[in-house]
């Protein structure tokens, strides 16, 4: 039963709506297509298409003609607007044009079905439907394509009912039906409906007698795309099936009449079919693929596609017949590609990928291919990116192999050829990539102690082709060469390498450190010294390279260089340096210096360097003193820091003292004093809350230091010609004496009798030195105190020295007299007094004062008389000649007073003379003489 037809008014209204919308669409379509973003027109078109009536009866012929005209207008408009877009890129065509074309076809279809059905018009409508359907397939609008082609498919049955078609018209329509099957096959494929595709393909083949060349090519193209899609999805069996069908369609045509596109399609089919066969990985398929490639080669020659297929055949897994991969044939094909292919980015990448594949099988042949590629083709192209990628790949291949002298030589020859034939070196980025690969080989060989190989790789990295490597990279390479030379102990090569370096790189601390390592091991003292000085100058804020020099020299067993480096480290150190680090450095430096001193003494070495060792040792200890004091000061101020430990202080104080004692005879006094002062200052850093026994011990050591320092300073002061320097030495001496005296007082009662006596005798000696220093410094007020302190020793020799000193000094007469009188008085109380010297001192005083200071001279004469009287009863009487001089001088002075009219004074002085004359041990001869002379004087009554 036929479907119910809508009432006529409804039909008329729908027709009017279609025509009205077509008119509106004709007006708005150009603007909608131009914007490409107008979705309202496209949405409305989709709505109109979905609601377009499946059947519409039009009884008025004029309405059919109007509908046809309107549809034709829209179709032509779409055709004209589509010309603005690339027909090879259907995805770029706005969707609104595709929808409008389908709408136009539906209008034409409706007009045709309700109007006069003629053969010409039938063919016209079918062509429009196929064109619209093809556009939908190309745009992957499968639902829309199916809607369109379903209308075209209805004409197949209609075609059988039309009897008035001419044979030409019928043949044309049947050919269009064949094209319809092709498109339906494509839609079924796109929808994944392979059974429908199979059915449509069968119907296409059934109508192949109607194929013209375009139809055949179109079907082959659809089948090829299906096979290629299946190949991509790794469905190799199905891919082979559809690709074979595609080839069969083309093979069924006259090959000489096929278009250029069809020939290219045939080649593509064979290429994909070969790939699919190779993917099966069985012997039969591989052999078939090989035969297909042979066929292509015979037809096309050395075209790129043929060469690529040959490479794929060669790359196919070999059958289990023991036949190895044919690397030589692979290389031959690659070389043919390199010579013939037109270079583009894609082709460059293609060739490079196959070179890498060959490298997996035969690195040497891959290297040969890439060398040819670089020298024959790439170097002639103005493509830096290709050149650099190929260059880096070449190095990657070489760096991935075991070291081979021939391989390195080949690379060097290649680089030289490239430089000779090109004006541009590798870019910085390419150089960086190349150097990254080269450094891996350099470090690998160096770590394996293959120094010659590492050196060759370094030389390669320094080739002129890497001229843009930069100074830093070149310096690194030079330094690695130095390391290799050092490892081989090849000083000659090292010097050549170093001289070849840029001056800036030469004076970098790292470069100089490496040369220092070499110099130390080759015992080149001058070169080592030069390197150390430059490293030191460049290491103002960071002494790490100097530390490295110390460690390296120590590891090499070169004590001399270790010592020199340590001294430079210490020169760079400050009191803020970590106490633990500085103390360790100082200990090591002192130990090595002592060892050097001992060795020089053993070998009778009197070189200038040996002469400097005492001064260096003193300087080192002075640094230690400064550091210890600075650390302690910070701690006392509550500032965070680490003070020197007691063990460290003990080690330094003890060693500085022992060194001084050891070289007491053979060293200059200046150095001895500096060592002992350092010992004292280390002792002063000891905390006061230690064990009393330890405190007593270090106190004794300090006293000994003070004593030896004072004796050394007195010697230096006496030999110093510069008055200012001499006075400074005397000042230092007095400080040591004061320190010794203070320590002795602090230890009173804690010392054994013998030790106490020894120290007091030393104090007496120091008092004599202190007395001399005070006299030279004109510290007259201190002389009395010094004499008093000396009294504790009861040593007449000390007073004798003091008396000699004061008598030879520039002291004012009152000071001199007062001081000598104190000395005489102190001496007189000693049992072992030397009366001869005592008499001499009195005579000197009397001589100084008898003329101008009779008030002083008189008591002196009385004192002399008393001493002479007391001494007369001992075994050490006053010397007769001294008493004779005093008596005679006093009497003469009495005569002077007599002549001056001072009779009373004259009588007093005469009496003094007679008193002294009694003890002249001349049996009273002088006394009688003086008495007789006195009687001759006529004193007033």
Alpha carbons 224 and 242: distance in angstroms, whole number: 7
**How many CB atoms within 10 Å of residue 26?**
16
Alpha carbons 190 and 184: distance in angstroms, whole number: 10
Ordered mean pLDDT values, 10 residues apiece, the chain (941 residues): 49 78 83 74 83 71 81 88 73 82 86 68 85 85 86 76 71 80 85 86 78 80 86 89 84 72 83 86 84 82 82 71 74 90 91 91 90 90 88 89 80 88 82 90 91 91 88 88 88 86 85 85 83 80 80 82 79 56 82 84 71 84 83 65 79 91 89 92 85 84 92 92 93 93 82 81 89 91 87 76 86 86 79 75 84 83 83 79 87 86 86 86 83 80 51
What pLDDT is recorded for position 283? 82
DSSP result, 242-293: HHHHHHHHHHTS-GGGS-HHHHHHHHHHHHHHHHHHHHH-SHHHHHHHHHHH
Check: CB of residue 804 under 8 Å from CB of residue 846.
no
Check: CB of residue 672 under 8 Å from CB of residue 630.
no
What pLDDT is recorded for position 731? 94
Question: Exposed (0-12), middle (13-18) or buried (19+): which is 296, by Cβ within 10 Å?
Answer: buried
Residues in the chain: 941
Cα distances (angstroms) measured from residue 150 to each of 137, 155, 184, 270, 938: 13, 9, 9, 33, 185
Q: Which pairs with CB-CB distance under 8 Å and at least 24 residues apart come from 922-931?
A: 922/880, 922/884, 926/884, 926/887, 926/888, 930/887, 930/891
Domain borders along the chain are 211-296, 584-687, 689-807, 834-941
CATH code of domain 211-296? 1.20.58
What pLDDT is recorded for position 725? 93
What pLDDT is recorded for position 832? 61
What pLDDT is recorded for position 2? 43
Query: What stretch of H or E contains 788?
Result: helix 783-790
What pLDDT is recorded for position 727? 93
The b/e string for 342-361 (b: 16+ C-beta within 10 A; e otherwise) is ebeeeebebbbebbeebbeb
What pLDDT is recorded for position 36? 65
CA atoms lying within 13 Å on the CB side of residue 113: 18
What pLDDT is recorded for position 512? 87
Q: What predicted TM-score, i.e. pTM, was given to this entire model?
A: 0.58
Tokens (6 digits) for 831: 């049992």
CA 85-88-91 angle, to 5 degrees, is: 70
The b/e string for 183-215 (b: 16+ C-beta within 10 A; e otherwise) is bbbbbbbbeeeeeebeebbebbbebbebbeeeb
What pLDDT is recorded for position 575? 46
Check: CB of residue 842 under 8 Å from CB of residue 860.
yes
Quote the crossing angle between the two packed helices 39-50 and 8-35, to the nearest 10°: 150
- Alpha helices by DSSP H, listed for 448-558, are 451-461, 471-488, 491-500, 503-506, 509-522, 525-538, 544-555
Collapse the DSSP code of 779 into the 3-class scheme (helix H, G, I; strand E, B; otherwise coil) and give the result.
Answer: coil
Query: What stretch of H or E contains 322?
Result: none
Alpha carbons 354 and 341: distance in angstroms, whole number: 14
């Amino acid at each position: 039963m036929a479907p119910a037809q809508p009432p006529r008014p409804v039909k008329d209204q729908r027709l009017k709506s279609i025509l009205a919308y077509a008119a509106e669409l004709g007006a708005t379509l150009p603007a909608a297509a131009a914007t490409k973003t107008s979705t309202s027109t496209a949405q409305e078109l989709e709505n109109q298409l979905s609601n377009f009536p499946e059947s519409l009866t039009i009884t008025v012929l004029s309405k059919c003609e109007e509908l046809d005209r309107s549809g034709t207008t829209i179709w032509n408009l779409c055709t004209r607007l589509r010309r603005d877009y690339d027909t090879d890129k259907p995805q770029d065509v706005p969707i609104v044009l595709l929808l409008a074309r389908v709408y136009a076809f539906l209008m034409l279809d409706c007009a045709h079905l309700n109007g006069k059905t003629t053969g010409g018009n039938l063919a016209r409508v079918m062509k429009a439907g196929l064109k619209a359907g093809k556009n939908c397939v190309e745009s992957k609008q499968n639902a829309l394509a199916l809607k369109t082609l379903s209308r075209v498919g209805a004409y197949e049955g209609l075609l059988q009912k039309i009897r008035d078609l001419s044979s030409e018209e019928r043949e044309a329509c049947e050919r269009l039906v064949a094209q319809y099957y092709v498109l339906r096959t494509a839609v079924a494929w796109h929808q994944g409906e392979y059974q429908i595709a199979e059915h449509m393909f069968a119907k296409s083949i059934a109508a192949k007698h109607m194929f013209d060349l375009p139809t055949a090519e179109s079907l082959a193209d659809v089948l090829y795309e299906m096979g290629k899609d299946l190949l991509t999805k790794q469905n190799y069996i199905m891919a082979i099936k559809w690709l074979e069908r595609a080839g069969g369609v083309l093979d069924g045509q006259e090959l000489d009449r096929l278009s250029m596109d069809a020939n290219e399609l045939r080649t593509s089919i064979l290429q994909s079919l070969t790939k699919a066969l190779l993917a099966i990985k069985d012997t039969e398929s591989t052999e078939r693929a090989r035969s297909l490639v042979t066929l292509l080669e015979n037809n096309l020659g050395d075209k790129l596609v043929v060469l690529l297929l040959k490479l794929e055949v060669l790359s196919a897994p070999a059958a289990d017949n023991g036949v190895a991969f044919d690397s030589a044939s692979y290389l031959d094909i690659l070389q043919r590609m390199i010579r013939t292919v037109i270079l583009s980015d894609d082709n460059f990448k293609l060739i490079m990928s196959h070179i890498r594949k060959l490298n997996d099988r035969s690195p040497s042949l891959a290297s040969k291919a890439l060398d040819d590629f670089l020298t024959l083709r790439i170097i002639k192209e103005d493509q830096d990116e290709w050149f650099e990628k190929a260059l880096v790949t070449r190095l990657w291949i070489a760096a991935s192999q075991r070291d081979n002298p021939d391989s390195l030589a080949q690379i060097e020859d290649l680089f030289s050829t490239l430089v000779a034939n090109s004006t541009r070196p590798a870019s910085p980025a390419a150089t960086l990539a190349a150097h990254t690969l080269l450094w891996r080989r350099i470090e690998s060989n160096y770590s394996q102690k293959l120094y010659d190989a590492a050196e060759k790789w370094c030389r390669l990295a320094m080739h002129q082709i890497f001229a843009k490597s930069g100074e830093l990279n070149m310096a690194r390479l030079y330094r690695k060469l130095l390391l290799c030379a050092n490892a081989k102990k090849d000083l000659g090569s090292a010097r050549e390498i170093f001289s070849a370096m840029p001056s800036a790189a030469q004076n970098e601390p790292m470069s100089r450190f490496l040369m220092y390592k070499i110099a130390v091991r080759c015992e080149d003292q001058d070169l080592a010294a030069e390197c150390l000085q430059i490293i030191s100058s460049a290491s103002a804020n960071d002494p790490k390279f100097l530390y490295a020099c110390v460690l390296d020299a120590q590891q090499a067993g070169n004590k001399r260089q270790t010592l020199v480096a340590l001294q430079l480290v210490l020169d760079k150190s400050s009191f803020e340096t970590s106490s633990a680090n500085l103390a360790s450095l100082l200990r090591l430096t002192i130990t090595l210096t002592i060892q050097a001193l001992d060795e020089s003494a053993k070998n009778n070495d009197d070189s200038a360097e040996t002469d400097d060792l005492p001064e260096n040792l003193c300087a080192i200890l002075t640094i230690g003193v400064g550091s210890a004091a600075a650390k302690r000061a910070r701690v006392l101020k509550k500032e965070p820091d680490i003070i020197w430990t007691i063990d460290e202080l003990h080690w330094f104080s003890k060693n500085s003292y022992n060194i001084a004692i050891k070289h007491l005879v053979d060293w200059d006094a200046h150095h001895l004093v500096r060592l002992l002062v350092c010992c004292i200052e280390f002792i002063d850093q000891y905390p006061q809350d230690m064990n009393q026994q330890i405190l007593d011990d270090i106190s004794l050591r300090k006293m000994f230091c003070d004593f030896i320092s004072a004796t050394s300073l007195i010697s230096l002061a006496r030999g110093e010609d510069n008055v200012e320097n001499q006075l400074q030495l005397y000042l230092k001496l007095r400080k040591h004496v004061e320190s010794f005296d203070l320590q002795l007082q602090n230890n009173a009662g804690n010392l054994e009798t013998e030790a106490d006596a020894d120290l007091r005798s030393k104090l007496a000696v120091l008092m004599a030195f202190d007395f001399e220093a005070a006299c030279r410094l004109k510290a007259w007020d201190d002389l009395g105190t010094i004499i008093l302190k000396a009294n504790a020793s009861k040593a007449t020799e000390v007073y004798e020295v003091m008396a000699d000193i004061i008598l030879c000094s520039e002291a004012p007469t009152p000071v001199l007299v007062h001081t000598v009188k104190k000395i005489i008085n102190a001496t007189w109380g000693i049992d072992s007094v030397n009366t001869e010297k005592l008499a001499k001192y009195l005579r000197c005083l009397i001589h100084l004062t008898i003329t101008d200071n009779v008030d002083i001279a008189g008591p002196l004469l009385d004192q002399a008389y008393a001493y002479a009287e007391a001494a007369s009863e001992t075994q050490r009487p006053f010397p007769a000649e001294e008493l004779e001089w005093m008596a005679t001088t006093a009497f003469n002075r009495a005569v002077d007073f007599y002549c001056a009219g001072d009779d009373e004074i004259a009588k007093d002085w005469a009496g003094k003379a007679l008193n002294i004359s009694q003890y002249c041990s001349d049996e009273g001869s002088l006394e009688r003489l003086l008495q007789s002379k006195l009687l001759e004087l006529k004193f007033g009554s």
